[in-house]
């Protein structure tokens, strides 16, 4: 018993070191978990950035096609103004068959 009492301070030091090491392992596990989450989030971020670029290019293409649709509408209107008000399909077919 005297040996335990004489070396009690060493037992306290060993126990404190054990608790410190245990806390260190727990914090190391949390750090590794957070680093793993960061890596997965970076991968997701890069995928989302690519998707955003695709959406932006699609939007630009959409705007360009809308401009072309407006131009085609305007051309159709000008062509319709040049055509007569009434078109008789039977007469047009007859004229075309005469030419051929």
Global pTM? 0.53
Alpha carbons 49 and 55: distance in angstroms, whole number = 10
Q: Is the pLDDT of residue 88 over 70?
A: no
Alpha carbons 51 and 54: distance in angstroms, whole number = 5
In a 3-state reduction of DSSP, which class is residue 1? coil
Per-residue pLDDT tens over the stretch 11-54:
899 999 999 999 999 999 999 999 999 999 999 999 999 999 99
> Average pLDDT, whole number, for the chain?
89
The predicted pLDDT at position 85 comes to 67
Region 59-86: what's the mean pLDDT?
87
Q: Looking up tokens 């630009």, which residue turns up? A: 60
């Amino acid at each position: 018993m005297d040996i335990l009492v004489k070396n009690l301070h060493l037992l306290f030091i060993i126990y404190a070191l054990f608790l410190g090491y245990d806390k260190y392992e727990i914090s190391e596990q949390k750090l590794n978990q957070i680093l793993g989450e960061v890596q997965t989030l970076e991968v997701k971020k890069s995928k989302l950035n690519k998707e955003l670029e695709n959406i932006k290019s699609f939007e630009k293409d959409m705007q360009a096609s809308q401009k072309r649709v407006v131009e085609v509408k305007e051309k159709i209107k000008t062509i319709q103004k040049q055509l007569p008000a009434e078109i008789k399909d039977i007469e047009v077919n007859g004229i075309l068959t005469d030419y051929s």
